[in-house]
A and B are shown apart, each in its own frame.
Chain A
Amino acid sequence: MITYIIRRIFQLIPVLFGVTILVFLMMHLTPGNPAQLMAGETAPPEVVERIEKRLGLHDPLPVQYVNFLKKVVTLDFGVSMRNSLPIIDELRPKFWVTIELAIYSTLLSIFMGIIAGIVSAVRKYSFADVAIMLVALFGLSMPNFWLGLMLMQWFSINLGWFPPTGWGSPGQVVLPVITLGTAGAAVIARMTRSSMLEVISQDYIRTARAKGVRERVIIYRHALKNALIPVVTVTGLQFGTLLSGTVLTETVFAINGMGRYVIDSIMARDFPAVQASIIVISIMFVLVNLIVDISYRYLNKRIDLNG
């Protein structure tokens, strides 16, 4: 197990290099002179020159990359092109907002998804099962930003139950979390259902029945623990989708998080800021995947006959 974790962490190194290289190249793959783009098309040459100097654009590419990497490692992403403030300082509070949003939504997805999945599996082909699976299919097929708009329309504008925008107060949390968590809940519900059905037909469930265990205990003690193993992986993958979904959700609800920061930075052609946010989100995603892989391995160890 420990060798697996170490091996897995070593595998991350080329991935992280790749991510930083790609993000670094972003600026250089842009058609035209990035300094000119950032300064604006009508900017005088001195300004463009100054930006080029500041970004070190005159150095050869490998040198530029090494410098870039050095700074990234120390979480120094330079200053924003828009207001000359250090990007990391701008990013930090937004980072926590996005993390909050992502965690609440993930919790909602897991909670709703697993419960719905269990009900569906236990009452296979019942009305409840069909209804849940139908809702899940819709949840999966809905653009989440549109769901956000619809929720805002009904619950904020028409009914006035929740504030339509912002983040922080309990009321402001509800709609964005539903918006972001729905797709995940749908995926997890479908996974839980099929995984439960698979497990329920296993021999050891019959053994438990033959032992005189109550049906409820069989579902929650004997079946669920096994059924949740693949659900862990799906939840991990879902976290990635969710992270990127914050971009849209934060835009819809005008939440001052990292996702919206990416969009604003792209619009303002503030490349250092775009690079910084993309690197932060990717690293977070990679780390979450690492944790999921390890826990899956840990849970699955007992099932794997080869140890």
Chain B
Amino acid sequence: MGKEENILSVKDLQTSFFIDDGSEVKAVDGVTFDVPKGKTIGIVGESGSGKSITALSILKLIDNPGKIKGGQILYKGDNLVDYNERKMRKIRGNQISMIFQEPMTSLNPTYTVGEQISESYKIHQGLGKKESKRKVIEMLKLVGIPSPEKRIDQYPFELSGGMRQRVMIAMALACRPEMLIADEPTTALDVTIQAQILELIKELQDELGMSVIMITHDLGVVAETCDYVAVMYCGKVVEYADVRTLFKNPRHPYTVGLLNSLPRSDVDQEELIPIKGTVPSPDEMPTGCRFAPRCPFATEKCHNELPELEQIGLGEQIRCWIYTDEWTGDPEVKVYEP
């Protein structure tokens, strides 16, 4: 793996929510990952792992009482954390776009499809009505919407869920952004439509040469679309690897757990094993490794001390005591090492 150019580097990102009673919920707690140009990186985790907040933080769409507390978001070398609202607006929808989970509610019900897409052209390219209409139709064609001349005057309620997600994609890609953040783009859709939408995103990525961050809880989606994967647990990245390594050779017990709880066709499985326990709530977050209470190998140290995200192998990173010299538990658990 040669040295690739990263279009986006997130370094030690911390986003917290400050509740009325003075307490702080660390939704994203020191997240680090890179997005190489033209590649797709998946961010995987259960709900509450902070993956969506990470995505929203990149575009600085965190609402009160949430705040980006620290870290860097380097986009083409510029730190977005330091950008003011005005500069951020020039990035959003123009350089970095985002699509959301619920196509049903993510489109404004009171404006037509055409009006909503052309708004991007008005804001970012200052195009007039006629010019942007032409471009909207072009865009709708690109995302595979039949008879776009008619669709453009329709309201979201007149479209099916899959069509709406296509409209969302058309809207996000209107200004040919360099990067797309897709936050669970297929979760709310029927299975058959899911595949179509993922396929569409991949096609458009090749055509436009975009980089994609794919936020999902579905490892199937990751396997199909991603080049690299960051697995998140409780606001932290616990494992980062290229997609083949991750599926063939998962290291972190959490990743292993996720894979074991999922039906797979690529390996022999005796049975599906769910991860025991549940994600801890923010007010009873463990002091040591966040996963320790659910981890079958946890030692005293795991419960008390938080491991760092360490580089191992070629470009792989892992946050687990097992893979350090300080591991005192059963050495056999390292069997996952290649």
Where the two chains meet, the residues of B that have a C-beta atom closer than 8 Å to any C-beta of A are 59, 61, 85, 89-94, 97-98, 100, 102, 104-111, 119-120, 123-124, 155-158, 168, 171-172
CA distance A153 to B169 in the complex (A): 63
Judge whether B89 and A304 touch: CB under 8 Å.
no
Judge whether B110 and A213 touch: CB under 8 Å.
no
A208-238 vs B, Cβ < 8 Å mask (1 yes, 0 no)? 1111111100000010011000000000000
Nearest opposing residue in chain A for B168, CB measure:
A207
Judge whether B171 and A211 touch: CB under 8 Å.
yes
Within the complex, which residue of B85, B106, B124, B158 is in contact with A207, where a contact is CB–CB below 8 Å?
B106
A7 is an interface residue with CB less than 8 A from chain B: no
Judge whether B108 and A210 touch: CB under 8 Å.
no
Interface size on A, residues (CB 8 A): 23
- Interface pairs A-B: 7 shortest CB-CB: A212-B92, A211-B93, A212-B93, A203-B105, A204-B108, A210-B98, A203-B106
CA distance A304 to B110 in the complex (A): 11
- A residues less than 8 Å from B157 (CB atoms): 301-305, 307
A267-307 vs B, Cβ < 8 Å mask (1 yes, 0 no)? 00000000000000000000000000000000101111101
Judge whether B107 and A207 touch: CB under 8 Å.
yes
Judge whether A212 and B123 touch: CB under 8 Å.
yes
Judge whether B90 and A210 touch: CB under 8 Å.
no
- A residues less than 8 Å from B91 (CB atoms): 212
- A residues less than 8 Å from B105 (CB atoms): 202-204
CA distance A67 to B157 in the complex (A): 51
Minimum distance in angstroms from A302 CB to a CB of chain B: 5
30 contacts between A and B (CB under 8 A): A203-B105, A204-B107, A204-B108, A206-B61, A206-B106, A207-B106, A210-B59, A210-B61, A210-B92, A210-B100, A211-B97, A211-B119, A211-B120, A211-B171, A212-B90, A212-B91, A212-B92, A212-B120, A212-B124, A213-B123, A215-B85, A222-B108, A225-B110, A226-B108, A302-B109, A302-B110, A302-B156, A303-B109, A303-B110, A305-B157
Where the two chains meet, the residues of A that have a C-beta atom closer than 8 Å to any C-beta of B are 202-204, 206-215, 222, 225-226, 299, 301-305, 307
Minimum distance in angstroms from B96 CB to a CB of chain A: 9
Nearest opposing residue in chain B for A223, CB measure:
B108
- B residues less than 8 Å from A212 (CB atoms): 89-94, 120, 123-124
- B residues less than 8 Å from A213 (CB atoms): 89, 93, 119, 123
Judge whether B109 and A211 touch: CB under 8 Å.
no
Judge whether B100 and A302 touch: CB under 8 Å.
no
Known contacts A203-B100, A302-B155, A307-B157; is-contact A209 B109 (Cβ 8 Å) = no
Nearest opposing residue in chain B for A307, CB measure:
B157
Judge whether B61 and A209 touch: CB under 8 Å.
yes
Minimum distance in angstroms from B32 CB to a CB of chain A: 23
- A residues less than 8 Å from B94 (CB atoms): 212
CA distance A212 to B123 in the complex (A): 7
- A residues less than 8 Å from B107 (CB atoms): 204, 207
- A residues less than 8 Å from B171 (CB atoms): 207, 211
- B residues less than 8 Å from A206 (CB atoms): 61, 100, 106
CA distance A301 to B92 in the complex (A): 31
- A residues less than 8 Å from B109 (CB atoms): 204, 226, 302-303
CA distance A215 to B93 in the complex (A): 14
CA distance A214 to B87 in the complex (A): 11
Known contacts A208-B108, A211-B171, A302-B157; is-contact A203 B92 (Cβ 8 Å) = no
- B residues less than 8 Å from A207 (CB atoms): 100, 106-108, 168, 171
CA distance A81 to B101 in the complex (A): 71
CA distance A299 to B109 in the complex (A): 10
Judge whether A214 and B89 touch: CB under 8 Å.
yes
Pick from A210, A299, A307 the residue with the most CB of B within 10 Å.
A210
Minimum distance in angstroms from B170 CB to a CB of chain A: 12
Minimum distance in angstroms from B159 CB to a CB of chain A: 11
- B residues less than 8 Å from A302 (CB atoms): 109-110, 155-157
CA distance A233 to B123 in the complex (A): 33
- A residues less than 8 Å from B158 (CB atoms): 307
CA distance A204 to B115 in the complex (A): 14
Nearest opposing residue in chain B for A228, CB measure:
B110
Judge whether A211 and B92 touch: CB under 8 Å.
yes
Within the complex, which residue of A209, A301, A305, A307 is in contact with B104, where a contact is CB–CB below 8 Å?
A305
- B residues less than 8 Å from A214 (CB atoms): 89, 123
Nearest opposing residue in chain B for A206, CB measure:
B61
CA distance A251 to B97 in the complex (A): 61
CA distance A214 to B106 in the complex (A): 17
Minimum distance in angstroms from B217 CB to a CB of chain A: 18
Nearest opposing residue in chain A for B86, CB measure:
A214
Judge whether A204 and B106 touch: CB under 8 Å.
yes
Within the complex, which residue of B85, B93, B102, B124 is in contact with A210, where a contact is CB–CB below 8 Å?
B93
Judge whether B92 and A209 touch: CB under 8 Å.
yes
A208-B119, A211-B119, A303-B157 known, 17 other contacts, Cβ within 8 Å: A203-B102, A203-B105, A204-B106, A206-B100, A207-B168, A207-B171, A210-B59, A210-B97, A211-B120, A212-B89, A212-B91, A213-B89, A213-B119, A299-B110, A302-B110, A302-B155, A305-B104
- A residues less than 8 Å from B123 (CB atoms): 211-214
Nearest opposing residue in chain A for B92, CB measure:
A212
- A residues less than 8 Å from B108 (CB atoms): 204, 207-208, 222, 226
